[in-house]
Amino acid sequence: MSAKSANDPRPLLGGIEAGGTKFVCAIGTGPEDIRAEERFETATPEVTLQRAADFFRRHPRLPEAIGIGAFGPADLDPDSPTYGHITSTPKTGWDYVDIAGYLQRYLDVPVGFDTDVNAAVLGEHTWGAGQGLGNLLYLTIGTGIGGGALLNGVLVRGLLHPEMGHLIVPRAPGDEFGGVCPYHGACLEGLATGPAIAARWGRSAQSLPRDHAAWGFEAHYLGIAVTNLILAFSPERIILGGGVMQQRHLFAAIRNNVQTNLNGYLGHPYLTRSINSYIVPPGLGSRAGVLGAMVLAQNALDQRSTRPEP
């Protein structure tokens, strides 16, 4: 361990971005001080959670707390008997898996638990493109679509948690693709994720050239979703992340479509002159989720130190 880390008063935190396709684990005190990081494919719950636990056990010092940003649907209600579990997921073998409980038992440190996108919005708020903004929205467009919202500095968790990926969006003219969502067919997720693009065009999203018709459809659907989310939440900034947003040209097209959809209705300069700094990529890049999970760890630690002894 370096002299710096030995004298550092900041707590050592663990983060897990528990995705349906891959897990990202990291240990450190923040984005400038990641001591170790590991990414691996999501396999069976036993194998995957053991691998995540081993990652922390191998480190010379156990983190003081860990945070988990999980794929959903997940149970975030601390009073529920299935708190910390993935709930009814179509992902084979993972329904009702107690992710938070497993890691808590194995590592015996406080565990913070939330959705992957709630973690990402927290990470961006703390260290990324949303610093200083209490009203912030993070949308990921990857294997799935999900959104996390911070309002007045507090994560939106309601009856369940928001499921922005399944917004119903009007069809683009000429689009007859049935969509891939197992529940709704052509909801936003059914039309605009990486797998939806691949199913529609018969090749992977990343292999499509920039002038392909796919991107017009993509900007149409994301432009509508972002417009609706601005109207519903009134965020001070919207961050768009995930694999599909690696297509950087989508940002200009989405900003344009949002302005067209709003048609001057919301006259705020953020939506007119400054839209380039209003709809933006994540400041933390592909680490938004795992760093956000470290913020969940910090929150779990803070809660423990302020909670009265039972």
How deeply is 219 buried, as exposed, middle or buried, from its count of CB atoms within 10 A (0-12, 13-18, 19+)?
A: buried
CA dist., res. 249 & res. 90, Å (int): 32
How deeply is 207 buried, as exposed, middle or buried, from its count of CB atoms within 10 A (0-12, 13-18, 19+)?
A: exposed
Q: Least CB distance from residue 190 to Zn ion, whole Å?
A: 5
H or E, element range at 44:
none
Q: Cβ-closest residue to ligand ADP?
A: 194
Query: Considering the rule CB under 6 A, would residue 216 count as an interface residue with ligand ADP?
Result: no
Pick the closer one to ligand ADP by CB: 15 or 242.
242
Query: Considering the rule CB under 5 A, would residue 181 count as an interface residue with Zn ion?
Result: yes
Q: Report the residue from 11, 73, 101, 195 that binds ligand ADP according to the rule CB under 6 A.
A: 195
Choose the binding region for ligand ADP from 27-35, 103-111, 126-134, 202-210 (rule: CB under 6 A). 202-210
> In the range 18-57, which residues lie near ligand ADP by CB under 6 A?
19, 21
What's the first-to-final CA gap in the chain, in angstroms?
Answer: 36
Instruction: Sort strands 22-30 and 33-41 into parallel, antiparallel or unpaired.
Output: antiparallel
Partner from ligand ADP, Zn ion, none contacting 181, C-beta within 5 to 8 A by type: Zn ion
CA dist., res. 6 & res. 9, Å (int): 8
Choose the binding region for Zn ion from 24-32, 83-91, 117-125, 182-190 (rule: CB under 5 A). 182-190
Query: Considering the rule CB under 6 A, would residue 247 count as an interface residue with ligand ADP?
Result: yes
CA dist., res. 241 & res. 44, Å (int): 26
Amino acid at 36: A
Pick the closer one to ligand ADP by CB: 62 or 198.
198
Count of C-beta atoms within a 10 Å radius of residue 213: 13
Pick the closer one to Zn ion by CB: 17 or 189.
189
> In the range 67-106, which residues lie near ligand ADP by CB under 6 A?
none
Query: Considering the rule CB under 5 A, would residue 166 count as an interface residue with Zn ion?
Result: yes
DSSP 177: -
Pick the closer one to ligand ADP by CB: 104 or 118.
118
**Shortest CA distance to 125 belongs to which of 20, 31, 26?**
31
Instruction: Please report, as ranges, the residues that interact with Zn ion according to CB under 5 A.
Output: 166, 181, 183-184, 187, 189
